[in-house]
């Protein structure tokens, strides 16, 4: 597949991107290089290769969920600029 400058200009217009003629030419060359690489990848024999979601084995990285004592409310709110009882008070952002 060969993308002309006109195709690049049309795609840029659809994406609402303003390109100069030099950029259209440059992107046309770059996109054609990318497409030729994809065509090269499509020629690869993948018979018998299982699809992968990830190339490395994944392990659960979470720590064990163990109950621990929490901080006292007075310690948590010690540096709060504004309090409302046992809670932080923040400015309203919605009416």
Tell me which residue range forms the domain holding 40: 19-44
Q: How much is the pLDDT for 30? A: 94
* 58 compared with 93, residue with greater pLDDT: 93
Tell me if 27 sits within 8 A of 6, measured CB to CB: no
Does the residue 95 lie in any domain?
no
Averaged confidence pLDDT in the chain: 90
Does the residue 23 lie in any domain?
yes
pLDDT at residue 24 above 90? yes
- The per-residue pLDDT for range 26-68, each reduced to its tens digit, is 999 999 999 999 999 999 998 998 888 888 888 888 888 899 9
Domains contained in the chain, number? 1
Does the residue 76 lie in any domain?
no
What is the Cα–Cα distance from 44 to 63, expressed in whole angstroms? 41
What is the Cα–Cα distance from 82 to 90, expressed in whole angstroms? 7
Does the residue 80 lie in any domain?
no
| pTM of this structure | 0.49
15 has which bridge partners?
none
When computed from its CA atoms, the radius of gyration of the chain, rounded to whole angstroms, is 28
Q: How much is the pLDDT for 12? A: 94
Which pair of structure tokens corresponds to residue 50? 């299982």
Residue with tokens 């009416």: 95
């Amino acid at each position: 597949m060969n993308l002309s400058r006109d195709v690049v200009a049309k795609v840029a217009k659809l994406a609402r991107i303003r390109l100069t003629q030099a950029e259209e030419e440059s992107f046309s060359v770059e996109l054609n290089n990318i497409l030729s690489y994809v065509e090269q990848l499509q020629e690869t024999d993948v018979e018998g290769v299982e699809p992968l979601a990830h190339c490395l084995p994944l392990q659960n990285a979470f720590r064990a969920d163990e109950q621990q004592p929490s901080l006292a409310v007075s310690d948590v709110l010690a540096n709060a600029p504004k309090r409302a009882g046992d809670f932080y008070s923040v400015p309203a952002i919605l009416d």
